[in-house]
Structure 1
Amino acid sequence: MIAEFLNTVDQRSFSRHGQNHAGGERLTSPGGLVDWLGECDLHPAGDELGPEDLTAAVALRTALRQSLSGEFDVATAFADYPLQLVHDDAGGLRIAARSGRPWLDTLVETVVVAVGRGDWNRVKLCAAPDCRWAFHDTSRSGRGRWCDMNICGNRHKTRVYRERHQQAG
């Protein structure tokens, strides 16, 4: 769910096999946010969302993408989202966000749990500057750089190969 949320903004701008890929913004209105939340089963029926909800979603997404880009750490991304320990149904404790927006709390809690488990290190933005698609790195070493080796990785390797041969020639 984290990568899907991060990819509600598509920054890809490359061409492949003669087809131009133009990115876009999925969260352009409260209705767009409702649609995305519905696809993820995060939006309770009957709740209406307004412009302030859209602003909150985009702010969280932007902070998370910036933390993945290394602009600041993930702790800074959560500065505006108070967290606390609460009792869960099984008698244990869990981390809970208290933004007043249950869907936003679920997103924040999902990221916090991923950070705590060490899974956040596997969420990455594609290294291709004309892509920046969020993906979950499933490589054994955890050093994956490309959202798709057959697309972005191949384009990078081809570009480096051509540059190296142009310099040699």
Structure 2
Amino acid sequence: MSERSAAPGGLVLVQDLVNTLDLESGADALDTADGRARFGLPEDDAAGVEAARALREALRASLLAHAGHPPHRAVVPLGTLLRKAPLVVAVDPADGSAALALVDRGPLLSRVAAAVAEAVVAGTWTRLKACEAADCHWAYYDRSPAGRGRWCSMQVCGARAKMRRYRAKRPPPPPRPAPQP
């Protein structure tokens, strides 16, 4: 739906996960084998798919908050889910550099946690937002200079919102004359 560019670095994983559900059509990529495979979810892991859906909606609520909007529905707070992410800080003995490293269990949760942590450090986390349109909430990366983007697509969601506002401001049409008998 969006013509906006992909989020930088690991945030593209977060963006892709949030965008597995098209709110307008109801299509959920996690219902398909290909969609589950994109995120490393085993075909027969119903609990893993439900956990991915809970993570997706917690992420969406955070992205809505980045854009200044209330949550779309009650969800498990993202911080609660990310606390369960098995990550370690790996330090290279040769040069002393440090990086987050994933632990084998919970690969999707760990990868998302690492992406969020890296984005926080890079200062890009709050630029990943969810579209203001209630029937969309698509994740997009706000590259606007002021960081105040509101829609995933100005041509679709932005145009619809502006047209609704325009129509709401217009005076009602004059009453039609009654037909003469």
Question: TM-score normalised to the size of structure 1?
Answer: 0.74
The question of 1:52 aligning with 2:64 is answered: no
Q: Which residue of 1 aligns with 2:22?
A: 10
84-93 or 138-147, which deviates more: 84-93
The question of 1:64 aligning with 2:69 is answered: no
The question of 1:118 aligning with 2:113 is answered: no
1:64/1:77 contact within 8 Å kept: no
Cα deviations across residues 81-125 of structure 1 (Å, max 9, x unaligned)? 244422258641122354603344223211221122221111111
**Partner-residue secondary structure (3-state), 2:99:** strand
CA distance in 1, matches of 2:59, 2:89: 22
Instruction: Let me know the Cα RMSD of the aligned residues.
Output: 3.0
Q: Which structure would you say has the larger RCO, counting Cα contacts within 8 Å and 6 or more residues apart?
A: 2
Which blocks of at least 5 consecutive residues in structure 1 are unaligned? 14-21, 38-42
Of 27, 38, 51, the residue aligned with 2:30 is: 27
- Between the two proteins, what is the percent identity of the paired residues? 36
Q: 1:88 to 1:163 in 2, by over 3 A?
A: farther
The question of 1:79 aligning with 2:83 is answered: yes
2-11 or 92-101, which deviates more: 92-101
Give the C-alpha shift of residue 159 in structure 1: 0.6
Count of matched residue positions in the alignment of Structure 1 and Structure 2: 152
- Higher strand content, 1 or 2: 1
Which blocks of at least 5 consecutive residues in structure 2 are unaligned? 1-11, 66-70, 175-181
**Partner-residue secondary structure (3-state), 2:129:** strand
CA distance in 2, matches of 1:92, 1:153: 44
Question: TM-score normalised to the size of structure 2?
Answer: 0.70
The question of 1:127 aligning with 2:122 is answered: no
The question of 1:144 aligning with 2:139 is answered: no
CA distance in 1, matches of 2:60, 2:146: 22
Give the C-alpha shift of residue 4 in structure 1: 1.1
Give the C-alpha shift of residue 49 in structure 1: 5.9
Task: Find the structure with the greater CA-based Rg.
Answer: 2
Q: Which residue of 2 aligns with 1:18?
A: none
Structure 1 residue ranges (4+ consecutive) displaced by more than 6 angstroms after TM superposition = none
2:136 partner letter? C
Matches within 5 A, 1:94-113: 94-98=99-103, 100-113=105-118
**Partner-residue secondary structure (3-state), 2:133:** coil
